[in-house]
Homo-oligomer: A and B are copies of this chain.
Amino acid sequence: MHLDRFRDHPSLAFADWSLRGVGQVVFQNNSLSGLVILAALAWNSWIYAAICILGVISSTATALFLRADRGMIRDGLYGFNGALVGLALIAFTSEDFRTGAVPSLAMAVYLICAAAFTTMAFASMGAVLAPHRVAPLTMPFVLVGWLFLFAVLKFDAIDAGPMAKPISPEQFSETVPFVLSTWYEGIGTSIGQIFFQDNWISGYIILLAIALNSRICAAMGLMGAIVGTVVAAVYGGPEGAVRDGLFGYNSALTAMALGGVFLVLTWRSVLYAVFGAAVASWLWASVAIFLKPIGMPVLTSTFVLVTWLMLLGQGAFKALVPVSPPEPEAPEENRTGKLGGEKLQ
């Protein structure tokens, strides 16, 4: 919040909006959070940090060129899908998923266009969802990511390595036992995988970045990662996928969205978020198995699916207190604003 003075700074404003765009991946409208997240990426691989910046700049600049609503640009809302698309295109076309690879010129142009396209997809999905007071979340990233990833595998001008990353639970051994490090690495990497970082320390740094802006969000994100990981373990998910954070990243995002960002935090919405995190973990496995024959990763599709299915009908459930207007602010403010009276139980 103390960084608001850069928002209208003549030369630094664009950097401020872009950093907020990085933060908005995890619902944080805060440029310091964005900066710490970039540091977490750089800790794992400077390539990913650079690509994240390239993606967020492309989609934010496109929004400026098309003269989109300035308030939304300043909040970083046109940036986060571009950042994610950039990361995904590098992650799934590099020989080493963990560090990524510097893209060719053709790939860089492709990536910049994909990130720009998320801006149009974001505006379109926003327009369709507006009457239902639900946000597009990361659906522009998921859809554009899938569409642009497929073609890459067959275009001559882009050298895509074989997909190095297992994308489905079937690809992991079922006999590896769970040990202590499975848990603390799996939970941390769950947060890291939101940004495609196979690095549990980066994950905990990202959690710290979230806490800088909202401790409720950080707590819900951690809770979601734990629920997703535990549910997967109880239901026999393979150790390697659990340790890789694959069962947990959709759950972490779902828990943040339902537990404070789009629903006011009450004990019922916490239960709702726990339920959503469990469902997101099961459905990660489902969607992964569905997509594997065509070689596509799940991305954050189950987070979007579960959150939409649990939010679009929120008006029908009097037990839930919707955040209104539905722009994500820190859950702390949502709580203060809404729970003044009879709506709270």
Contact = CB atoms under 8 A, between A and B. Distances in A.
Contact of A154 (B123, B132, B170, B313): B170
A286 B237 contact: no
Contacts of A293: 293-294
A110 to B, nearest CB: 7
Interface in A110-130: 110, 113, 116-117, 120-128
A101 interface: no
Contact of A169 (B106, B113, B154, B236): B154
B290 A127 contact: no
B150 A289 contact: yes
A279 interface: yes
B235 A106 contact: yes
B309 A120 contact: yes
A50 B156 CA distance: 40
17 contacts: A67-B317, A67-B318, A110-B282, A113-B275, A120-B310, A121-B313, A123-B317, A125-B312, A127-B132, A148-B282, A148-B283, A148-B286, A150-B286, A150-B287, A154-B169, A154-B170, A154-B289
Interface of A: 65-69, 106, 110, 113, 116-117, 120-128, 131-132, 143, 146-151, 153-158, 169-170, 174, 234-237, 275, 278-279, 282-283, 285-287, 289-290, 293-294, 305, 308-320
